[in-house]
Amino acid sequence: MNYRNILISFLLCVFCSVQIQAQEKDTDVSKHVIVYLNDGSQVEGDIINWMPGYIIEIKTSWSDKITFRQEDIKKVIQKSTLKQKHIVPYNFKEKGLNYSLKWQMITGNAGSRANSVNGIGFSVSAGHRFNRFISLGGGMGWDQYVWNSGEKLIPFFAEFSGFAHQSQTSLMYNLQLGYSLALKDEDYLISHARGGIMVYPSIGLRFGRNENIKYTFDIGYKFQKAEFHYDDVWEWGRRSEQNLLYKRLTLRFGLLLQ
């Protein structure tokens, strides 16, 4: 027998050995079971002998053979058939650039001006997150504090935000500080409009499992100074001046892009 035949024979033996080990591994997986006992305990191991209706013998990590009688067994389950729970690892990016889109409902006051009519608003912002607790950025938005009115403002703001927990769902805070431009509206006879300081603190939750998009929901209180002059429809040149300080509870939903 020459060296080539010896080499071929050796490779065939190795190949057969690998195949046999793979088959044995598959067989071992199919024999790996969990025995649930009537007393509430569980024992995991490989089946040595199983006589349905009588006994089952298994090999565990601490014993070569354990025998259970059928009357002591509640059920036997093949471990490979159990569905493994898919756990998404923590994937929130604690540093770097981030962008957000937010929509808010501005609750109405019960006074004579708003008559409990709600308002709406939205904003876009970008920032840099230094760590989980501190992010600094800026943005702009659009607010209408009373729906179906001409009182509209465009806020420009600095934004501070942070998150409390290193988990997929976390408590969060957000603070917007800035100045809003008020808009004139001839349809509502607003001939002069002037904005003012805007302050908007809120607390809420960040949640979501996607690596690139997270969701936020928060509750806040929005303070906004503004001035609107309404022309009198019946008397030319006559105006009604409204110097306002909006103080409104808000509910806000957002998308956080990272």
DSSP string, 225-246: EEEEEEEPSSSTT-EEEEEEEE
Q: What is the pLDDT of residue 86?
A: 57
Query: How confident is the prediction along the chain (258 residues), in pLDDT tens digits per residue?
Result: 454 555 555 555 445 444 444 444 444 445 788 888 888 788 888 888 888 778 888 888 777 888 888 888 888 887 766 555 555 678 889 899 999 999 999 998 877 777 889 999 999 999 999 999 999 999 999 999 998 888 999 999 999 999 998 888 999 999 999 999 999 888 888 888 999 999 999 999 999 988 899 999 999 999 999 999 988 777 776 778 889 999 999 999 999 998
**pLDDT for res 183:** 93
pLDDT computed for residue 27 by the predictor: 41
Helix, strand, or coil here: 28? helix
Please tell me the predicted confidence (pLDDT) of residue 2: 52
Beta bridge partners of 101: 124, 255
pLDDT at 206: 96
Residue with tokens 């908007």: 200
Structure tokens belonging to residue 136:
């600094």
Distance CA 184, CA 161 (A): 32
Is 180 within 8 Å of 153 (Cβ atoms)? yes
129, containing H or E segment = strand 119-129
The strand pair at 96-106 and 170-182 is best described as: unpaired
**77 and 36 in contact (C-beta within 8 Å)?**
yes
Neighbours of 192 (CB within 10 A): 13
| Spacing of C-alpha 36 from chain mean position | 37
The predicted structure's pLDDT at residue 87: 57
Of 113, 131, 141, the C-alpha closest to 222 is 141
Q: Look at residue 14 in the predicted model and tell me its pLDDT.
A: 47
What is the rounded distance in angstroms from the CA atom of residue 90 to the CA atom of residue 24?
37
Q: Which domains does the chain have, with CATH numbers?
A: 29-81 (2.30.30.100), 96-257 (2.40.160.20)
Per-residue confidence (pLDDT) for residue 19, from 0 to 100: 46
Helix (H, G, I), strand (E, B) or coil at 232: coil
Q: How far apart are CA 173 and CA 221, in angstroms?
A: 12
- SS3 of residue 195 by DSSP: coil
218 to each of 106, 171, 173, 174, how far by Cα in Å? Answer: 12, 9, 8, 9
